């Protein structure tokens, strides 16, 4: 797919009349489908993996259960997280993981028929409904990565880690292990232990786990999965031996959302942009270091990041800020994180009076700005994820990974990345419509395709350019 260089800001305010554009929305949706059928977009085999992280804490304030997962749309569920204590994999939240009883669970207590309850039992039930669905226990994560360096330090510690994690995987019925060390060599939480030797030891740790899983797989005549969640920044990638680790892995989940927002491409107008701080650059970095394309899984966020106190200049884009707003699940204990679930964004922010929406086609993501109070929010929506899905197909990548599933209650974002789903619906051109076509094809191609509607396109382009 050609790189976009024209910055297309699609601004609207809730309540403004868009009658002329609404009359064309059905035409545009039909046209998008026709373009796919006629081969206007690149023709690639569909990426096979849709990996969704399920957070153990989803059962609490969010009320999001394993049973709420759309198993028919996912290929893998990564359960977040198991903890790492004393060099061994242990339950992260025992009550949520295996102790909590749900309706339909037997009350006789753990026994030979039901050795555990909680979320892990619910995963078993979900797999009974969707036999092709695979589950992995994800170990570590941002909060629990502090002990990885010690676990990877010696042959004995690596063997202990591999054995304990494989035992955990087998006992609780998982199909594999996902290692989420944030990060080898440092860069995670400040109390985390890190060493210069982490780079080599990470490779040796993965070798030990792979050997343990292969031995158990041979016994049970099956293959157990081993994956990692990898940092996307150039500094994080430099601290792992990419060429040595990928032969031991089934695939690599690249966390391409850990930038300022989740840009697909760089925005030349961004004065703070760090070279390589975008999803495409991260993927190209891994490809350049020898990872097969089908082993790379593009991470996408189902959340947005907000700030406040942003000046009413350049629609809020690339401006400084004075504070962080309370996010979707923030309280007095957590403090303000500025993290917003997409479900919250779609319902409570996109159509809020006075909230303007814009889209930067260089980076491929939308943002919201309220000039009256300086609120600014960058996030992914169905249109931007359709572009990322197309990038996955263009680069013949191995699929998409989602962080995380409890943030998209209506599957609006999920449907945009599932391989066999149609293009996202474009309601009244907000925020996609002509903009989505223009982003994918360029304004000139869009004019040719909608010949006879030059007056509408001309007006739209004027609005987009200011």
Closest to 74 in 3D by CA, of 405, 452, 449: 405
The answer to whether residues 432 and 422 touch, using CB atoms and an 8 Å cutoff, is no
Of 46, 128, 182, 315, which one is the catalytic site residue? Answer: 182
User: Other C-beta atoms within 10 Å of 164: how many?
Assistant: 21
The HSE-up count of residue 61 (CA atoms within 13 Å, CB side) is 6
For residue 256, give the 3-state DSSP assignment: coil
* Kind of pairing between the strands at 356-360 and 176-180: unpaired
Q: What are phi and psi of 235, to 5 degrees?
A: -70, -35
Q: Measure the CA–CA gap between 424 and 413, rounded to whole angstroms.
A: 9
For residue 405, give the 3-state DSSP assignment: helix
Tokens describing residue 190: 């400040």
Query: If 0-12 CB within 10 Å is exposed, 13-18 middle and 19+ buried, where does residue 57 land?
Result: middle
Q: Catalytic residue at 182?
A: yes
Closest to 289 in 3D by CA, of 236, 224, 337: 236
Tokens describing residue 169: 């995987």
Closest to 260 in 3D by CA, of 228, 296, 233: 233
- Give the CA distances from residue 122 to residues 67, 169, 252, 317, 400, in Å, rounded to whole numbers and listed in that order: 7, 15, 26, 43, 24
Which residue in this structure is represented by tokens 């990548």?
Answer: 397
Catalytic residues: 182
């Amino acid at each position: 797919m050609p790189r976009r260089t024209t910055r297309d800001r699609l601004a609207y305010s809730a309540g403004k009349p868009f009658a002329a554009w609404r009359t064309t929305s059905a035409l545009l949706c039909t046209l998008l489908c026709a373009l796919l059928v006629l081969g206007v977009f690149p023709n690639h085999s569909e990426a096979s993996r849709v990996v969704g992280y399920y957070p153990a804490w989803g059962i609490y304030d969010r009320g999001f259960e394993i049973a709420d997962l759309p198993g028919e749309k996912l290929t893998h569920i990564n359960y977040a997280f198991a903890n790492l204590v004393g060099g061994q994999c242990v339950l992260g939240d025992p009550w949520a993981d295996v102790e909590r009883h749900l309706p339909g669970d037997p009350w006789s207590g753990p026994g030979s028929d039901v050795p555990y309850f909680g979320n892990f039992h619910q995963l078993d039930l979900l797999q009974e409904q969707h036999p092709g669905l695979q589950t992995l226990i994800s170990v570590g994560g941002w909060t629990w990565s502090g002990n990885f360096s010690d676990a990877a330090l010696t042959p004995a510690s690596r063997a202990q880690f591999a054995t304990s994690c494989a035992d955990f995987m087998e006992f609780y019925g998982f199909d594999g292990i996902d290692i989420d060390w944030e990060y080898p060599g440092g860069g995670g939480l400040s109390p985390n232990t890190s060493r210069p030797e982490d780079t080599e030891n990470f490779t040796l740790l993965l070798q030990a786990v792979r050997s343990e899983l292969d031995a158990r797989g041979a016994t049970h005549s099956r293959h157990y999965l081993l994956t990692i969640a990898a940092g996307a920044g150039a500094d994080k990638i430099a601290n792992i031996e990419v060429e040595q680790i990928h032969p031991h892995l089934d695939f690599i989940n690249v966390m391409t959302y850990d930038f300022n927002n989740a840009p697909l491409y760089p925005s030349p107008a961004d004065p703070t942009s760090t070279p390589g701080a975008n999803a495409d650059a991260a993927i190209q970095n891994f490809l350049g270091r020898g990872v097969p394309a089908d082993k790379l899984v593009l991470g996408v966020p189902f959340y947005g990041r907000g700030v406040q106190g942003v000046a009413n200049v350049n629609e809020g884009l690339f401006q400084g800020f004075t504070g962080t707003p309370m996010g979707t699940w923030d309280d007095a204990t957590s403090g303000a994180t500025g993290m917003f679930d997409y479900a919250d964004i779609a319902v409570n922010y996109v159509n809020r009076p006075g909230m303007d929406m814009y889209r930067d086609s260089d980076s491929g993501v939308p943002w919201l700005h309220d000039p009256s109070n300086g609120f600014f929010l960058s996030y992914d929506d169905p249109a931007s994820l359709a572009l990322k899905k197309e990038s996955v197909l263009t680069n013949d990548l191995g699929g998409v990974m989602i962080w995380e599933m409890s943030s998209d209650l209506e599957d609006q974002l999920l449907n945009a990345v599932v391989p066999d789903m149609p293009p996202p619906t474009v309601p009244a051109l907000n925020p996609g419509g002509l903009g989505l076509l223009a982003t994918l094809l360029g304004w000139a191609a869009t004019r040719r395709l909608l010949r006879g509607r030059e007056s509408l396109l001309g007006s739209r382009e004027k609005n987009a350019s200011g």
